[in-house]
Homo-oligomer: A and B are copies of this chain.
Amino acid sequence: MDNRDVPNILHTMPLFSGIAPSELPALLGCLAATQRTYRKGSYLLREGDAATHVGILLSGAAQIEQTDYLGYRSLLAQLTPGDLFAETFACAHVAHIPLSVQATAGCEALWLDYSHVLGSCAKACAFHQRLIDNMLLALSRKNLFLNAKLTVLSRRTTREKLLAYLSAEAKRAGSLTFEIPFNRQELADYLSADRSALSTELSRMQSEGLLTYQKNQFTLAQKPVQ
């Protein structure tokens, strides 16, 4: 792949961080990278396809869908340029992709052969190793994110979910006072709860002295002495 052909967006992707733009063409060559264009409505991946490649959305938009055994479809994610997809299945040696990726607009995707990602190239290039590091980084970060969300969602009541979420945020901020990146509706969605019930629970907790808040700024009360 010629230097001029390397899409700009790759330079800002976490997957290629630490790799000089000048090295990218050689690396993409190593990886047997191929680029394809898709029309709106066409499929980048179909359920059952072999999980041999890692995809990168370069431009346009696409969405990930899953169909359960009864035929009900659900939307798992919206992809925007720079997003990686299908990487988990390639890494996990899953034979067949259990979901579909459909273009919601005309789009372009770059495909990397996972066996080339993993197998060190004949030239044993240093940036190849960096790529693997970045891949491990991406997977483990996603892991941490999923774990954090799971810790919250495994609580049963809205109050417990809130306390789990807020104390995690306090720990991250290193302070009992902190801001959250969600508005009420987004927080309710994150906690899988109803927005109005969430509002009610929050004001109840405030009246009980568990916490105080204004807009997105929360302050947790100290742990009561036991």
Tell me if A136 is interfacial: C-beta within 8 Å of chain B.
Answer: yes
Q: A66 to chain B: closest CB distance in Å? A: 8
Complex interface: chain B residues within 8 A of A118 (CB)? 129, 132-133, 136
Binding site secondary structure of chain A? helix
A215 CB–B CB distance under 8 Å: no
A139 CA / B136 CA spacing, docked (Å): 8
**A123: interface (CB < 8 Å):** no
In Å, the complex CA distance between A71 and B170 comes to: 12
Task: For the complex, give the distance between the alpha carbons of A64 and B126 in Å.
Answer: 36
What is the total number of residues of chain A having a CB less than 8 Å from a CB of chain B?
49
**A185 contacts chain B at the CB level, 8 A cutoff:** no
Q: Which of B69, B92, B144, B164 contacts A167 (CB 8 A)?
A: B69
Per the bound structure, the CA–CA distance linking A69 and B174 in Å amounts to 8
Is A150 an interface position by the 8 A CB rule?
yes
| Least CB separation from A174: chain B residue | B69
**Shortest distance in angstroms between A59's beta carbon and chain B's nearest beta carbon?**
26
> Which chain B residues border A137 with CB–CB below 8 Å?
91-93
* Contacts of A129-150 to chain B: CB distance below 8 A: 129, 132-133, 135-137, 139-144, 146-147, 149-150
Contact A88 B144 (CB under 8 A): yes
Distance in Å: Cβ of A55 to nearest Cβ of chain B: 15
Per the bound structure, the CA–CA distance linking A192 and B155 in Å amounts to 7
Residues of A in contact with B (beta carbons under 8 Å apart): 68-72, 87-89, 91-94, 98, 118-120, 124, 129, 132-133, 135-137, 139-144, 146-147, 149-150, 153-156, 164, 167-168, 170-171, 176, 192-194, 220, 222-223
